[in-house]
Amino acid sequence: MKMNMNYKLILQEDANVPLNLLTRPELTVDEWLSHRFRHIPGSMIGSIVWDMGLESEAWSVYTRSRLLPLRDHPKLQEWAARGIDWLDHCIETAARYGIPSFWNHRISEIDLPHPWSPPTGMALDDKRRENPLKKAHPEWLVPCWWPQGLWNLAHPGIRMHKLSILRELMENYPLSGLQLDFARHTPCLPPGREWEMRDQATEFVRMVRLMLDEVGKKRERKLELLVRVGDTIAGNHQDGLEVERWIAEGLIDVLIPGGRGTVDIAAFRRVPGGEKIRICPSFDAHHTAEGYHAPCVEYLRGFFCNFYYQGADSVSLFNWFGQHNMNAPDDPAELIMFREGGSLEKMSQQPKMYAAESRGEYPWAQNYIYRNDDKPLPATVAHGAGAIIPIEIYQDRPLDRLEILVEGMEPGDIAELRLNGIPLTNAEYLPERPDRYAMNVRMYPAALYPIDKTMRLPNGRNPVSVLFRANTNPKLFTIRRIELYTK
C-alpha cells in the first residue's frame, strides 16, 4: 500500500467546452489560453490530454493537415486565416508549465451540427448533424442507438483511415503520445458480436503502437500510448476489448480505466505485464454516477484515496471545470482537488465521504463501459426483507456517521442495520433529507447512524446490511443512497 506519496494528475480537457467558448467573436487566442490554463499554477497537473477533435475522422481543429479539412467553426476558421494554429498554442503553453501534451482520439463519436453551432435542443437525427464521411462509407459503421451509427473497428477501411490521421498528427506536432478513448462512445464493434470480433479492436491498438514507435524513432524519443477503457476486465470483454492482451503484449504504456466509479485496479495489475504499465483511473466530474453530479469535495477525496490506496499511479480528470461560460464560477470542490487530489498525504488529513455506487444518468453507451448497470443502487426491498450493499473504503480517519436515504420509509421501518457485521444503533430519523448532488434534487426520508470513532473497517469492500421490519400491509422501499462519513 502506498502511503504519503504525491502523484501527478492527468487532465483530459473536454472537447465541447472550448468549442462552445469560442463562440465569442471578440475572443483572442491569448484570452482563451489564459482561461484554459488559469488553474495550472499551483496545481498537481502533470500532463494534459487534449480532447478537442470530436469527429476527427472527418475534420481537423489544427491547421497542418493535408488529409482533413479544417472544422467549419467560425473562430477556428478566423484564427487559421491569420496563421494561428490552436493546437500549436495549446502544446506550447503547456510546455512552458513543464507539462507534456497528449492527443485524445475518441474511437466513436456522436455527430455535431455542420456548420458548427452549439447543438442545444437539437434532435439527434437532425439533418444538420449529417456526417459526410459516414454518408460516404456506411460500410464503416455499426448500426446502434446513435441515428447515424458509430465507427466499426472490425472494418479495415476505418482502421486505416484513423491510423493515417493519427500518424499525420503525431508527425506534425510535438506531442508526447496519444490516448485511444474507447469510452466515448460504445459500441465500436458489431452489437452482439463484440467478443467474437475482439481481435479487430486489438489489431487497431497494435497498428497505433507500431505507428508511435516508428514516429518516435524518427524523433528520437519514446511516444506513449494511453487507452481509456472500462473499469473491469470482464466489463471490457462485453465491449470486445481484450485489455489484458494489450497489456501482456506490451502495446500500451498507461491504462485509464473507469470514469464513473470504482475500478478493479488489482485485477489489471495482476495481468502479465501489469507491473510494467501505469494505471491511472479516470474520474468524470460531469457524467458521474447517478445522484453525485457536481459532488462535494469529501466525496472526491474518498474516491481518489481509494484509488491510491489500491495502488493507482495517478488519477485522470475528465470533464473538469466543464462550464460553457467563461464568466461562470468554478466548482469549489474541483478547485480544491486540483491542488490536493494528487497528494495522498494531504487528503488523508481531511474529512471524506464514501458512497455506495449507483446506476443511471448516462445515455451515451450501449454495452458496458460507462453505464454502471452492475452497481447496487437504487435497490427496491419489501417489508420483512433485506439488502446487502457494499461500500468501498480504505479508512485513514475515524468514522463519524452513516446516512441512508430510503424512499417510502417511516420511523421504525428499519429493524436492523449493520456495517461489516457490526450493528449500528441510535439512529436519528429525518422525514426529509435532500438528495444533495442529484441533477434533479429530491427529498427522501433518511436515517442517520452515529459510529463509534474507534471502529476500524478492513480495507476494501465493506457490506452494509439493512433489514426492514415485517408488516402485515405489503410495502416496498427503495434505497437511494448509503453514505459513510469520516470526521
Domain ranges of the chain: 9-351, 379-486
For the ranges 22-31, 45-54, 268-277, 430-439, the maximum mean pLDDT occurs at 268-277
Predicted pLDDT of residue 252 = 98
Whether the predicted pLDDT of 168 surpasses 60: yes
Predicted pLDDT of residue 474 = 83
Predicted pLDDT of residue 121 = 86
> Are 55 and 131 a contacting pair, CB within 8 Å?
yes
Report the percentage of the chain scoring pLDDT > 90: 82
Q: Which pLDDT band holds residue 324 (cuts at 50, 70, 90)? A: low
pLDDT digits (tens, 9 = 90+) for 37-73: 999 999 999 999 999 888 999 999 999 999 999 999 8
Whether the predicted pLDDT of 117 surpasses 90: no
Predicted pLDDT of residue 1 = 43
pLDDT digits (tens, 9 = 90+) for 240-251: 999 999 999 999
**Could you name the CATH architecture of 9-351?**
Alpha-Beta Barrel (3.20)
**Could you name the CATH architecture of 379-486?**
Sandwich (2.60)
pLDDT digits (tens, 9 = 90+) for 426-442: 999 999 999 988 888 89
The average pLDDT across 280-308 equals: 93
Whether the predicted pLDDT of 4 surpasses 60: no
Predicted pLDDT of residue 325 = 66
Predicted pLDDT of residue 118 = 80
> Are 150 and 137 a contacting pair, CB within 8 Å?
no
User: In sequence order, what are the residues at sequence separation of 6 or more whose Cβ sits closer than 8 angstroms to the Cβ of residue 36?
Assistant: 13, 18, 90, 93
Whether the predicted pLDDT of 123 surpasses 90: yes
Point out the least confidently predicted range of 387-391, 468-472, 474-478. 468-472
The average pLDDT across 404-419 equals: 96
Question: CA-to-CA distance for 371 and 359, rounded, in angstroms?
Answer: 7
Bigger pLDDT: 172 vs 330: 172
pLDDT digits (tens, 9 = 90+) for 301-310: 999 999 999 9
Instruction: Kindly report the average pLDDT of the chain as a whole number.
Output: 93
Bigger pLDDT: 363 vs 43: 43
Whether the predicted pLDDT of 3 surpasses 60: no
The average pLDDT across 74-89 equals: 93
Whether the predicted pLDDT of 188 surpasses 90: yes
Predicted pLDDT of residue 2 = 46
pLDDT digits (tens, 9 = 90+) for 208-237: 999 999 999 999 999 999 999 999 999 999
Predicted pLDDT of residue 20 = 67
The average pLDDT across 436-464 equals: 94
Whether the predicted pLDDT of 106 surpasses 50: yes
Whether the predicted pLDDT of 389 surpasses 90: yes
Predicted pLDDT of residue 242 = 98
> Full-prediction pTM beyond 0.75?
yes
